[in-house]
Amino acid sequence: MEAYFVDVLNLLVRSLHIITGIAWIGASFYFVMLDSSLKAPKKSEDSKKGVFGELWAVHGGGFYHSQKYLQGPTNEPLPKDLHWSKWEAYTTWISGFFLLAIVYWYGADIYLIDASKMALSQPAAIGISIAFLVGSWVIYDLLCKSALAKSDRNLGIVIFILVAVAAYALTQIFSGRGAFMTFGAMLGTTMVANVFFVIIPGQKKMVDDLNAGVPVNPIYGQRGKQRSVHNTYFTLPVLFTMISNHYAMTYSHEYNWAILIAISMAGALIRIFFVSRHGEGKPMTWAAVAGGLIMVGVIWAMAPKPVQPIAALPVASSVAGTAAVAQPVAEVSFDTVNAIIQERCTVCHAATPSYPGFAAAPKGYMYDTKAQIEAQAALIYQQTVVLKAMPIGNLTGITEEERQVIAQWYQQR
Ligand code: HEC
């Protein structure tokens, strides 16, 4: 019952997270586009009113005329019904935090910890995960406030290096999927903290100053802009890591840290291109090309190496029940493979899983019968031999020899 309850909670919180995430990132992309598309106001009375730029747009059967006032309207009070964009960001983070807690902390043994990397206890793993979320924000925020921030480019380079170091460190500490998700949560937390601690307080200060009739200090606008620019470049890397757990070829690769860094870099470059496309100058096509080339390189590097035909390899025959002497095996029988699968897989992949925390077979894959196993042969081979993503976290302790037996069984079919 507990596992079912956790599954339902997972469904509800995940839905909320996706919906609010769409609202947040959608609004954020829209405002970045708006900001870079602004043209100087056509009417001189608009300039006198304090309009800095404007955009005409058509959408949903009507025409919109957006105007940006850098410092609020001159000689006019700010309207009382000012719309703020912040709850989209906050609810995305709050729901994301709960989802992280439900899946990766509550289920740390399955999803976060990989004993072959570091045999962490559950509290230690959770502690490290939290330390990354908080620590990354503290360091990033200090950097943005330091003298380094005088140059956007230098700041960007240092942030990139630190992000890459974090990606490497996480993959050495956690399971591949746990590392990728913590990395995404880390960047996402920084983005929301930018909204909560810098952008929104700065805007509040601007509104207060305007209402009090004191001149607005442009520093609030500049700081807010700097953080929003960072946020926009973090967006695609974060979105990638949020879906990465469906793609074992990324996170379970030997060089998963390099894949994580490369895809994040490609995401940031692609975003740089889209931001520039709406601006005044020429679009930075090179950024899109570079991002595309990095992705081609990653796809090439991730491609599975052809698995050696195994017929000639010695196989420890302990599985088959005979003495554990290495001997060439001509043909692997279904019973041999079935014995491995029943021992290593069906605690989770069965109509009624016995592994704690599973209310139903993961992704609906069950290996109770011969027909089920035969039908799933390609996927079993892919996940167990090529990607080594299953058994998840190798919780059931499959051996290399057993993986090879599965490989041979699949290849001889
Ligand atoms: C401790 C539980 C557990 C064990 C043991 C386990 N799995 Fe899984 N398996 C999972 C989970 C959880 C998922 C879903 C992962 C996800 O959400 O991406 C999964 C997913 C899969 C998938 C679908 C992958 C995809 O992305 O489509 C296959 C195939 C699979 N497992 C095969 C196996 C095989 C074969 C074994 C035994 C060698 C095995 N699993 C052992 C928990 C387990």
Tell me the CA–centroid distance for residue 382 and ligand 1, in Å: 11
Q: What angle do CA 313, 391, 347 make, to 5 degrees?
A: 120
CB-ligand 1 contact for 253 (6 Å cutoff)? no
Atom of ligand 1 nearest to the CA of 363: 14
User: d(Cα 247, Cα 256) in Å, to the nearest integer?
Assistant: 12
- State the closest ligand 1 atom to the C-alpha of 380, by its place in the atom list counted from 1: 35
pLDDT at residue 140 in the model: 98
Cα separation, 387 vs 350, in Å, equals: 21
pLDDT per residue over 55-71, tens digit each? Answer: 999 999 999 999 999 88
Indicate which atom in ligand 1 lies nearest the CA of residue 398: 38
Give me the count of residues in the chain. 413
Q: Please report the pLDDT score of residue 323 as a whole number.
A: 46
CA of 162 to the centre of ligand 1 (A): 33
The radius of gyration of the chain from alpha carbons, rounded to an integer in Å, stands at 26
362 Cα: distance to centroid of ligand 1 (angstroms):
6
Could you identify the residue written with the tokens 């586009």? Answer: 33
Largest CA distance in the chain: 93
174-221 pLDDT tens trace: 999 999 999 999 999 999 999 999 999 999 999 999 999 888 888 998
Structural contact between residues 180 and 172, judged by C-beta atoms closer than 8 angstroms = no
Q: How many Cα atoms sit within 13 Å of 256 on the Cβ side?
A: 31
Protein residue with least CA distance to atom 4, ligand 1: 391
Q: How far is the CA of 366 from the centre of ligand 1 (A)?
A: 10
Of 266, 261, 239, whose CA–CA distance to 250 is shortest?
Answer: 261
**Protein residue with least CA distance to atom 37, ligand 1:** 345
Nearest CA residue ID for atom 18, ligand 1 = 246
* Distance from C-alpha of 367 to C-alpha of 306, rounded to nearest angstrom: 26
- Distance (angstroms) between ligand 1 centre and the Cα of 246 equals 11
Residues 6+ apart with CB under 8 A from 253: 176, 259, 302
**393 Cβ closer than 6 Å to some ligand 1 atom:** no
The CA 364 to ligand 1 mean position distance, Å, reads: 10
Report the candidate in 55, 107, 89 with the shortest Cα–Cα distance to residue 198: 89
From residue 101, alpha-carbon distances to 90, 93, 331, 384, 411 in Å are 17, 12, 46, 27, 40
Q: Which two tokens stand for residue 204?
A: 């509040």
User: Which pairs with CB-CB distance under 8 Å and at least 24 residues apart come from 102-107?
Assistant: 102/6, 102/9, 102/10, 102/13, 103/10, 103/181, 104/129, 104/178, 104/181, 104/182, 105/129, 106/6, 106/357, 107/357
CA-based torsion, 105, 109, 110, 115: positive or negative: positive
Q: Note whether 271 and 240 are within 8 A (CB).
A: no
Whole-number Å distance between alpha carbons of 320 and 335: 8
CA distance 349 to 365: 6
Question: Best mutation site among 244, 392, 398 for ligand 1, i.e. most ligand atoms within 8 A of its Cβ?
Answer: 392
**Nearest residue (CA) to ligand 1, atom 31:** 390
Ligand 1: residue of 113, 383, 388 to mutate (most ligand atoms within 8 A of CB) is 383
Dihedral sign of CA atoms 387, 393, 399, 400 in order: positive
Q: Which atom of ligand 1 is nearest to 110's Cα?
A: 1
The response to whether residue 384 sits with its C-beta less than 6 Å from ligand 1 reads: yes
Nearest to 199 by CA among 229, 176, 179: 229
Give the mutation target among 103, 342, 390, 403 for probing the ligand 1 site: most ligand atoms within 8 A of CB. Answer: 390
Closest by Cα among 320, 78, 339, 318 to 210: 78
> Residue 325's pLDDT is what?
47
The amino acid sitting at 169 is A
Chunk the chain into consecutive blocks of 10 residues (it has 413) and report each block's average pLDDT, rounded to whole numbers. Answer: 89 98 96 93 93 96 95 86 94 98 95 94 98 98 95 95 98 97 98 97 93 89 92 97 95 96 97 89 94 97 77 50 53 94 97 92 95 96 93 94 94 87
Among 341, 363, 376, 382, residue to substitute to test ligand 1 (most atoms within 8 Å of Cβ): 363
